[in-house]
């Protein structure tokens, strides 16, 4: 049974992890014979968005605590991640990747990435183990790793910023997975495209299968 580490960035597309992508990634892992452990950094959330109105509200929340909602409480802090215990590492999308796990939403190609995210990604790559990212999450890899091949779909402005960070971007359609064979990096666009939940499920399934094949 292949063991995945799933890294979340909160709970909710506008200020945390994209819930459909997170849940369907976990489902894809189990459907394909794997198991998973959920992680999140124990840090303050950048801000809180009312998902009904789309407006910012005056609240303070914690990324680990919010991610625990999706994990049903079964979650570990990302600082405790040990690459030796897992076969693969995957990041569902959501604005939390660009606001909490990094500052990409605010600084673009000049962003910084959370130190625990950097450590987890680099240790997995050093161990020659596959890493994956859905939706906007590939920007994390573009910043951390050099000369990698990724995709966030077909958003031109985001693709330009990714390439300014030294990565190579490929346009993709629904359910497509881009594989950087050298570094075992896998990316798929999901909600970076105008997708249905069925298409999200297919994208999650495809990236998980590709990663399992690379283990």
Catalytic residues: 135
CA angle 168, 103, 150 (to 5 degrees): 20
Distance of CA 200 to the CA centre of its chain: 14
Torsion of CA 204, 206, 212, 215, to 10 degrees: -110
CB 133 within 8 Å of CB 141? yes
- At how many degrees (to 10) do helices 197-214 and 19-31 cross? 50
| Residue found by looking up tokens 């959920």 in the block | 38
């Amino acid at each position: 049974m292949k063991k995945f580490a799933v890294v979340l960035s909160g709970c909710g597309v506008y200020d945390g992890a994209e819930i459909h992508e997170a849940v369907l990634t976990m489902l894809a892992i189990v459907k394909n014979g794997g198991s998973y452990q959920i992680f999140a950094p124990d840090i303050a959330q950048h801000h809180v968005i009312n998902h009904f109105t789309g407006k910012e509200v005056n609240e303070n929340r914690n990324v680990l605590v919010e991610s625990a909602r999706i994990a049903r409480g079964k979650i570990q802090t990302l600082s405790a991640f040990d690459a030796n215990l897992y076969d693969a590492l995957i990041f569902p999308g959501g604005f939390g990747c660009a606001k909490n796990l990094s500052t990409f939403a605010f600084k673009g190609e000049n962003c910084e990435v959370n130190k625990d995210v950097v450590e987890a990604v680099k240790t997995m790559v050093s161990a020659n183990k596959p890493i994956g990212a859905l939706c906007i999450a590939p920007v994390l890899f573009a910043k951390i790793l050099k000369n990698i091949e990724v995709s966030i779909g077909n958003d031109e402005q985001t693709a330009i910023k990714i390439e300014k960070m030294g990565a190579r971007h490929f346009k993709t359609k629904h359910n497509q997975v881009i594989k950087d064979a050298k570094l075992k990096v896998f990316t798929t666009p999901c909600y970076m495209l105008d997708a249905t939940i069925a298409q999200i499920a297919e994208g999650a399934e495809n990236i998980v299968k590709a990663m399992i094949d690379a283990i």
